[in-house]
Amino acid sequence: MPLFPHLAIPPRNRQASNTTKRGFNDPTDSFLGFPSNMLPHVSEDEDLLDPSRNSSWFRHDLALKYYYEDVVHYRLEDTGEWVSFPLVRTVYRRDRDLRKSEIVAYLKHGEVPSRYPPRLSGGVVNEPMNADNFKLMVSRFFINNFTALGRAYEELRERSSGRIVQPTSHAFEEVFWRTVAVACHWDYIKCAYPAQIQRDVRCHGGSYWYLNMLKRCAAVGYRVLEGRDVLLPFPGCEDDEANHIS
């Protein structure tokens, strides 16, 4: 086993292991899926919530929690002796294949996607991507049924805010660049905090629930200030489509 197992960069273009041993996931996956920047991928499939790889040390929308066992090595200054300490790394990952239609199917018919198996199956512990966690994750949404001009409609809404779920994975960025950036003066935008950008997007572009909205507000704010995207230099963060290695 390598001295620093978490630094072993896993193969690209694969999902993190979903089985556990003694409550921990595969340690070689601990850096898998970290995005190269904070902006979502643009997808032509309007049903996908966000097709980008999204992993973080911090909580974020619709994320599942993975635990990794590790060891930290520290050298004592007075004696020069190396000592080791156990460490648990917690990584939050979102299912990149999660669709709005899957959420609706569960809310209406109780259907759970097949990639979310039972937690215990044939002596194998499936964690965290299992049926129980899927049900808990999508319980934050509800379906709003209404009638307009004699025709029945339904909307997928986020429960705490009551807002309609974003129409596309990149809808927030489209609203910002096409509407807010035009309606507001650039001098004002360069001084705006993420919370202010959030209010402007909702004011000018519709009151939707956007996935990871404050994080995306910070990303577009940085893009305006610096002229480039925030880069997150983690191993295993390569873009799957642009740098595919079979």
Angstrom distances, CA of residue 132 to CA of 2, 62, 117:
35, 14, 9
Structure tokens at 152: 């029945």
Residue-level pLDDT at 37:
61
Decide if pLDDT at 118 tops 90.
yes
Instruction: Give the pLDDT confidence score for residue 199 in this predicted structure.
Output: 86
Query: What's residue 143's pLDDT?
Result: 96
pLDDT number for residue 77: 86
**pTM, entire model:** 0.80
Domain ranges of the chain: 158-221
Worst-scoring range by mean pLDDT, 66-80, 187-201, 210-224?
187-201
Phi and psi based region of residue 212 (left: phi greater than 0; alpha: psi -120 to 50; beta: remaining): left
User: Mean pLDDT score of the chain, rounded to an integer?
Assistant: 81
